[in-house]
Amino acid sequence: MTALTELVSEQWEYRELLVRMTARDLLLRYKQTVMGFGWAIFMPLVNTAIFSVIFTRVAVIDVGQPYPVYAFCGLVAWNFFASALRFSVISLTSNPSLVTKVYFPREIFPFSAVLVALVDLGVALVVLAALMAYYRVTVGWSLLLLPAIVLVHVIFTAAVALLVAMGNLFYRDVKYLFEIVIAVWMFATSVVYPIGRVGGRLGAVLALNPMTHLIDAFRAVLLEGRAPDPAFAIASAASVVLFVFAWMVFHAAEFDFAENL
């Protein structure tokens, strides 16, 4: 407990550096782009259109609500997770001079990637609100639970971000393997179709995926006007435990980072 308190205290001490790193990464990501923040919503909209054709025209499924809203909500939540990890995985290896020559908490790099993705999530949620208005999907009291769900989503994403950033530093194969894993993980999650429809042993295995429960929680409070299922509470507890574990492991290993760059 003392070690965790020290980590939090040190992170708070360097909070201004985290803000500056996040601002730098945000500017670099959209520098010299025509669309700017439009890229945060372009791919979810394109994927929504593609999957809407597939699941409303070819392999029709009933999700209990307008499919484009269902799909876009899932894609917005998923893209935050995938985008944060995509930049986190190379966050240490792409900043060798800072990692090796200047002391500050190295977890600032993956945390910065998560915060940049969080800004993109905020932009995408505005578009989701417009899409919900277009399809006349009303919101209720459950909207008050959205900040808590976003917080859990950030905690889980930050935990995985720490692990992949550290893993790629020691084993460069991780960044290549990551693209395969993230693609498979998406289709093993309730992003564009309900995983609950999958039965048997495969369905039981897929039900263990915490990302499914996080995305289902987004849909519950935004589209269905209700509190998340009890599985979300389990996923929340697991996210906190994983985050503490990942942060401890990351901190213990950072003294060897310079030797691997």
- Using the predicted structure, report yes or no on whether residue 31 has a pLDDT greater than 80: no
Which residues are CB-neighbours of 226 under 8 A, at least 6 positions away?
142, 220
The letter for the amino acid at 156 is F
Residue 82: band (very low, low, confident or very high) from pLDDT cuts 50, 70, 90: very high
At residue 34, what are phi and psi to the nearest 5 degrees?
-75, -40
Is there a contact between 118 and 28 (Cβ–Cβ < 8 Å)? no
Q: Residue 12 in 3-state DSSP?
A: helix
More confident residue, 100 or 178: 178
Task: Give the integer Cα–Cα distance in Å for 61 and 98.
Answer: 50
pLDDT tens for 121-173 read 998 999 999 999 999 999 889 999 999 999 999 999 999 999 999 999 988 88
Number of C-beta neighbours around residue 147 at 10 A: 10
Q: Residue 172 in 3-state DSSP?
A: coil
How many structural domains is the chain composed of? 1
Question: Quick one: which of 96, 124, 98 has its CA closest to 21?
Answer: 98
- Using the predicted structure, report yes or no on whether residue 67 has a pLDDT greater than 90: yes
Is there a contact between 153 and 76 (Cβ–Cβ < 8 Å)? no
Report, in angstroms and rounded to the nearest whole number, the Rg of the chain calculated over CA atoms.
19
Question: Quick one: which of 115, 29, 30, 122 has its CA closest to 76?
Answer: 122
Domain that holds residue 219: 2-260
What's residue 149's pLDDT?
96
